[in-house]
Amino acid sequence: MPLLKTENISRAFKAGAHTITVLQNINITIEKGEFVAIIGKSGSGKSTLMNILGCLDVATSGTYTIEDKNVSHMTVDQLAEIRNKKIGFVFQRYHLLPDMTAVENVMLPRLYANVSEKDARTQALQMLQQVDLADRGHHFPSELSGGEQQRVAVARALINKPTILLADEPTGNLDSVTEERIMELLRQLHKERGVTIVLITHDEHIAQEASRVIKLHDGKIIS
Query: Looking at residue 36, what is its pLDDT?
Result: 95
pTM: 0.86
Query: Looking at residue 94, what is its pLDDT?
Result: 78
Domain ranges, ordered by start, for the chain: 4-97+162-221
Query: Looking at residue 168, what is its pLDDT?
Result: 87
Long-range contacts at 134-139 (CB < 8 A, ≥ 24 apart):
136/102, 137/101, 137/102, 137/103, 137/106, 138/101, 138/102, 138/103, 139/101, 139/102
Query: Looking at residue 105, what is its pLDDT?
Result: 94
Pairing of strands 35-39, 196-201: parallel
pLDDT digits (tens, 9 = 90+) for 77-136: 999 889 888 898 888 777 899 999 999 999 999 998 889 999 999 999 998 998 888 899
pLDDT digits (tens, 9 = 90+) for 164-216: 999 888 877 777 888 888 888 888 888 888 889 999 998 888 888 899 999 99
- Predicted confidence band of residue 38 (pLDDT cuts 50, 70, 90): very high
CATH 3.40.50.300 describes domain 4-97+162-221: yes
Residue 15 has pLDDT above 90, yes or no: no
d(CA 177, CA 161) in angstroms, rounded, equals 27
